[in-house]
Every structure is written in structure tokens, then in C-alpha cells.
Amino acid sequence: MMQTLTNIHSQLGIMTWPLIIMSFLTVAILIERTIYMLLNSRTHTTAILRSIHKLDFSRPQEVDAFIQNELKGRQLIFQSMRMLLGHRHFTKPLREEAVGIWLFKKRQQFRSGIRLLSMIGVISPLIGLLGTVLGLMEMFSSMTDATAVISPATLADGLGLAMTTTAAGLIIALPAITGAQLLGMWVEKTLAKIEYTLNHSNLHIEGIVVDPFSGTQSSYMVTSDEVL
């Protein structure tokens, strides 16, 4: 282990530890965020909306039974539906405000690691470039103090070592930026599906049914004595 670190330090110079730390952070965040999204990205939109459209909100016991039996999972969509249906007695504007605050908090949680990945993707090439500049400065300083003739091979070797930090920074930045973009798209797609499900369910609580399964955009009012 120490031999490996020594070899890496000989290649990267004083920027060894910043680049190593950022590489470990990139791998750790990518793994953690991917697992988190795999556990929370399933929205069950179709199944939940079909069940919601069968509920009669004039029967509180039926709704409570649906919450306890069908929405007992820990996935994000179940949490959001429990929150919405738990506030079904509030007015529509208050429910929308509660849903908006809840979604904002969840979006912040989803994107916390993604923002850090984006920062690493921006900073790591700059640190690599700084290491290259410092390496070149050190190389040219040692050349001025040398009395012997410097061969082209020695010069090329020094330049190669100096450029290694730039390459290392770019190697770290590539998966960091790519992962941040892909995870960001995954997060927005998941939250859009959850918001879609919440909006349809919120309208249904008000007795306005917009059928998400038909090919046409139709809606109708539902009175309290209708069977849904």
C-alpha cells in the first residue's frame, strides 16, 4: 500500500492527496446515489392512480384502509401519497402548498450528492492543471541549476511527469460530470412522475377526475353520491 502511494506521489507531486480524495469521493457518491435511486425511483404511477380512481373520498374508513394497506412502503411515492391523503381534509390550496414544500425538501435531498459531483467535475481539472504548472516550474528551476547538458529524453520525461496531474484531473472529472448529469436526469424524471401522480390524486380528492389512461384529455366532476 505504501509503495503504491509512493509511486502515485512520484507521478502527481504535491497534488496527490487532493486528487486521491476527489477520486474516492466521486466513486463513493456515484455508488451511494445509484443505490439510493434504485431504491426510490420506482413510482408505481399506473397502479396507484388506478387505485385512487376507485376510492370514494366520502368514505373516510375506505381511504384510511387504503393508506394503511396499500401505502405502507418506505418508497418515496408511498411517503408522498400518505402525506397527500393525510391532508385530504385541508383545502386544495393548502394541500398544494404542503405538496410543494415536501417536493422541494425531497429534491434537495435527491440532489445533495449530485451538486458535490458537479463541483468535483469542475475543480479536479483545475487542480490537475495547477499541479502541471507547479511541476513545470520545478522542472525548469532544476534545469537552470544543472551544469550538465540536458538531453531531449530527460526534458520529455520531465514534461510527461508534469502533464500527469492534468490527465489525472480530467480522468476524475469525466465520470463526475457524466454521473452528475445522468443522476440529475434520473432525479428529475422520478420527481416528475411523483408530481404527476400527486396532481392527479389531488384533483380526484376535489371530485375532478382526469383520466390518465385514456387517449383523450377528458375530465368530469364527481358528486359525493357517485360510485367511482
The pTM score is 0.74
pLDDT score recorded for residue 219? 46
Cα 78 to the center of its chain, rounded Å: 19
Confidence of residue 167 (pLDDT cuts 50, 70, 90): confident
pLDDT score recorded for residue 221? 45
Residue 226 Rama label (left phi>0; alpha psi -120 to 50; beta)? beta
pLDDT score recorded for residue 110? 85
Give 211's contacts (C-beta < 8 A, 6+ positions apart). Answer: 53, 218, 219
38 closest CA partner among 175, 183, 198, 196: 183
- Ranges of H-type helices in 53-205: 60-70, 76-86, 92-145, 152-205
Pairwise pLDDT comparison (14 vs 96), residue with the higher score: 96
Please say if the pLDDT value at position 220 is more than 50: no
Give the C-alpha separation, 210 to 192, whole Å.
Answer: 17
pLDDT score recorded for residue 225? 40
